[in-house]
Amino acid sequence: MSQKTDLQQKWAVASYALQDAYTDFILSRQAMLCSPKTIRFYHFTAGRFVKYLEDNGVIGPEGVSSRYIRAYLAELAAQNLSDSYINGHARAIKTLVKFWHKEKFIEEIPTFKMPAIAKKRLPVLTAPQVKKVLGECNNNRDKAIIMLLVDTGLRRAEICALNWGDIDISSGIVRVVKGKGGKARSVVTGIKTRRALLAYRRDIEHDDEHPVFQTCSGSRLTANGLRSALLRVGKRAGIHITPHALRRTFATLSLRAGMNLIQLQAMMGHSSLEMTSKYIQMLDEDLVEAHKAHGPIDTFY
């Protein structure tokens, strides 16, 4: 058997319709238990790229090349879209072509440079701002929500999915059963947050199977409901707050208080320290204090 035939047999690249290959990709993400939000992300980003390929006469994944990917990203850039928006599409395309290569739909992974994202200092609340926000809470539920978010760094979907059976008030341990990517973990709350939860619990039905955070009708608080509640409190305090801003606040304040990166990674449910480091915001005053303690000239001269 010739070397060429061996190579062809090794790759066994099938002439596979583009839509079929795209559908296989989406099914693979669903089989990996990606969240509905992640699936929607891939539908929008990878799906739009596949439509672009079809519009340009590509009939199967084997027709995808670096040139097509670069041209597509250039087309997005020409629309004056944000850096993060274009980078999100590029990440989805990278995941898509890696999957196609793994499934032997394509022989080689097309190479392209990931679009750069301008670094921005995302909003993080200071300790006085957190106190101000808590002072504007006009009910026990909202106060407990904000304290739990700042004390644990839980994601929006995670805090909404909590049932009372997931929380051990005596120890402060909260079991996150439905974490991102289906990963379970435990986080810990402080005494003051536990007191806030107890005060709120007296107002509602709280058997183990009941949701922790509820609407006025007793149903589970949705992600949109949570966001709206935070916006209302923030408006009264004159501070814009979102669940993700409070997650970043948890990361930054915890690090300042002495928590190490490994502990922070575990609390936040990240699979890598690189992900955790993206949440950490070093303010100018942090750098000043760090230099006072460790600056080389002042240390030895």
Q: Catalytic amino acids? A: 155, 180, 244, 247, 270, 279
Q: In what order do the strands lie in the sheet with 167-168?
A: 167-168, 173-176, 185-188
Tokens for 65? 């090349």
Question: Cα 144 to the chain's mean position, in Å?
Answer: 22
Q: Where are the beta strands (DSSP E) in the chain?
A: 167-168, 173-176, 185-188
Distances from the Cα of 301 to the Cα of 34, 291, 293, angstroms: 55, 14, 14
The beta-carbon contacts of 127-134 under 8 Å, at least 24 apart in sequence, are 127/253, 129/237, 129/239, 130/249, 132/237, 132/239, 133/233, 133/234, 133/237, 133/239, 133/241
Report how far residue 169's alpha carbon sits from residue 146's, in angstroms, rounded to the nearest whole number. 17
Cβ atoms 205, 219 nearer than 8 A: no
Cβ atoms 117, 84 nearer than 8 A: yes
Torsion over CA: 65, 26, 44, 34 (sign):
negative
Torsion over CA: 156, 134, 265, 256 (sign):
positive
Residue 269 CB neighbour total at 10 angstroms: 21
